[in-house]
């Protein structure tokens, strides 16, 4: 597979240094991407870089994932208006292990193949570097004029910049350039990849290699992913969409992809899946002919959820979706874990009741209209039951004297009340 051609039709190349494609066609090439280790999980904003590494490995080349333990202690000015929080070494090491575990779902780290993936941490070679050694070995090769010309620096020092820029951040591109130089020397790494906002930092590395080693290195960046409406990709009202299921449930993860716009689905399915061009073109045609069926979104959500969380979690997410929008049963509701249950019914009005009252048993009308405000009056609760319009945990309630007990609790805590087809309430035993 021609790596550059593959990325090109997928819309994953923004800038590419001349000679890059020729280098990749000539021999197996090691290439790296830097990953910010300021959290113990990747989020979907990292997925573009991860998919680049995956395509690289499929193409027969060697991917290197560089965890920026040293650069994470500094903060990267690219596209940022403020400095990052600095982390201690123990936290960085923990984050590194968590990130490697997630990357292992995408990359082969374990095999004995020549192009098995590697993970490195730039803290390992930067921690012993003294300041004097650094400015002697690295600083004298890159001029201030060269560094000032970078867009990331100019933006922070421009007229609109209120915060200015610390020397620490200004030196970031030299540290990143040192990473590339180190990997060039130690791992024969010839290519660095990243987002388009990293172009300036990456070419500083290629320039350093040229001046220090007389060597040739290459750069390739992908576009920064945006949404069709101009909003930030991967951000929701509740924050980032994480790959860690403890931070973002597989159901919420699946729903994110399922709910993207048609225009975004057409773009994302090329970037975030391994589906081939013919299959994607067929799905796009299918979408044009029957957009209400949303074949692009459904396939995108399936592919990405399976890749990140596995097929079993995907099946659970689909089943959970049916609870809100389909003919779900009490049994399927009972199978939901607490996190998925809360994710499915996020934003649904919730009422609290003392757990002891549930343990002792409470009559349904009392529960709905006296112990909670799920219904405005007992009369309305009775009318709803009489009209066959009330369900408890997806089971119809026809008896106005029904006694609600601990046996009715989902996850030993929740009761789902449904009035008519679309009105849901949660009663939580506290």
> Which one is catalytic: 155, 185, 235, 357?
235
> Which one is catalytic: 14, 43, 101, 378?
43
Q: Show contacts of 306-313: CB within 8 Å, 24+ apart.
A: 307/105, 307/106, 307/273, 308/105, 308/243, 308/253, 309/245, 309/250, 309/253, 313/245, 313/250
> Which one is catalytic: 46, 182, 267, 270?
46
Q: Which of 160, 146, 152, 184 is nearest to 66 (CA)?
A: 184
Report which DSSP code applies to 371.
I
Q: Is residue 84 flagged as an active site residue?
A: yes
In degrees to the nearest 10, what's the CA dihedral of 59, 60, 61, 64?
90
Distance CA 311, CA 320 (A): 14
> Which one is catalytic: 14, 15, 84, 315?
84
Residue 226's DSSP bridge partners are 232
Find the helix or strand (DSSP H, E) in which 423 lies.
strand 423-429
User: Which string of DSSP letters, residue by residue, matches 144-197?
Assistant: HHHHHTSHHHHHHHSTT-SS---HHHHTHHHHHHHHHHHHHHHH-EEEEEEEGG
> Which one is catalytic: 57, 176, 252, 340?
176
> Which one is catalytic: 232, 338, 383, 386?
232
Specify whether the CB–CB gap between 103 and 155 falls below 8 A. Answer: no
> Which one is catalytic: 14, 80, 357, 419?
80
Q: Is residue 422 flagged as an active site residue?
A: no
Q: Which of 349, 423, 413 is nearest to 391 (CA)?
A: 423
Q: Is residue 236 flagged as an active site residue?
A: yes
Alpha carbons within 13 A on the beta-carbon side of 386: 6
* Distances in whole angstroms, Cα of residue 429 to Cα of each of 355, 367, 375, 414: 5, 11, 17, 6
> Which one is catalytic: 15, 36, 197, 337?
197
Q: Is residue 357 flagged as an active site residue?
A: no
Q: Is residue 227 flagged as an active site residue?
A: no
Q: Is residue 232 flagged as an active site residue?
A: yes
Q: Is residue 43 flagged as an active site residue?
A: yes
Q: Is residue 419 flagged as an active site residue?
A: no
> Which one is catalytic: 91, 102, 168, 236?
236
> Which one is catalytic: 15, 38, 91, 337?
38
Active site residues: 38, 43, 46, 80, 84, 176, 197, 232, 235-236
């Amino acid at each position: 597979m021609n790596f550059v051609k593959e990325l090109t039709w997928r819309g994953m190349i923004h800038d590419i240094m001349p000679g890059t494609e020729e280098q990749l066609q000539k021999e197996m090439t090691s290439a790296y991407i830097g990953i910010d280790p300021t959290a113990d999980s990747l989020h979907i904003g990292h997925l573009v870089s991860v998919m680049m590494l995956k395509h690289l490995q499929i193409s027969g080349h060697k991917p290197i994932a560089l965890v920026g333990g040293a650069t994470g202690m500094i903060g990267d000015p690219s596209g940022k208006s403020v400095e990052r929080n600095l982390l201690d070494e123990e936290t960085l090491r923990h984050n590194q292990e968590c990130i490697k575990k997630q990357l292992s779902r995408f990359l082969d780290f374990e095999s004995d193949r020549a192009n098995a993936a590697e993970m490195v941490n730039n803290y390992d070679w930067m921690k012993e570097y003294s300041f004097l050694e650094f400015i002697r070995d690295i600083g004298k090769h890159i001029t201030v004029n060269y560094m000032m010309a970078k867009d990331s620096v100019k933006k922070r020092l421009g007229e609109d910049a209120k915060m200015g820029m610390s020397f620490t951040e200004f030196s970031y591109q030299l540290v990143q350039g040192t990473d590339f130089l180190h990997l060039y020397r130690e791992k024969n790494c010839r290519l660095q990849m990243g987002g388009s906002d990293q172009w300036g930092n990456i070419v500083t590395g290629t320039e350093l290699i040229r001046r220090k080693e007389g060597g040739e290195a290459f750069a390739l960046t992908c576009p920064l992913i945006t949404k069709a409406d101009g909003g930030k990709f991967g951000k929701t009202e509740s924050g980032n969409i994480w790959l860690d299921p403890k931070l973002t449930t597989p159901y919420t993860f699946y729903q994110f992809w399922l709910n993207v716009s048609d225009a975004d689905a057409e773009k994302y399915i090329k970037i975030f899946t391994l589906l081939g061009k013919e299959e994607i073109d067929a799905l796009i045609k299918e979408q044009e002919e029957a957009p209400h069926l949303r074949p692009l979104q459904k396939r995108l959500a399936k592919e990405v959820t399976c890749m990140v969380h596995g097929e079993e979690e995907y099946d659970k997410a689909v089943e959970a979706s049916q609870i809100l929008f389909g003919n779900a049963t009490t049994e399927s509701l009972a199978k939901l874990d607490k996190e998925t249950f809360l994710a499915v019914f996020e934003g649904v009005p919730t009422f609290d009741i003392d757990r002891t009252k549930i343990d002792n048993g409470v009559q349904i009308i009392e529960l709905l209209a006296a112990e909670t405000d799920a219904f405005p009056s007992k009369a309305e609760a009775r009318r709803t039951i009489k009209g066959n319009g009330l369900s408890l945990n997806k089971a119809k309630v026809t008896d106005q004297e029904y006694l609600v007990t601990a046996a009715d609790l989902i996850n030993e805590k929740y009761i789902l009340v449904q009035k008519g087809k679309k009105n849901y309430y949660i009663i939580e035993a506290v």
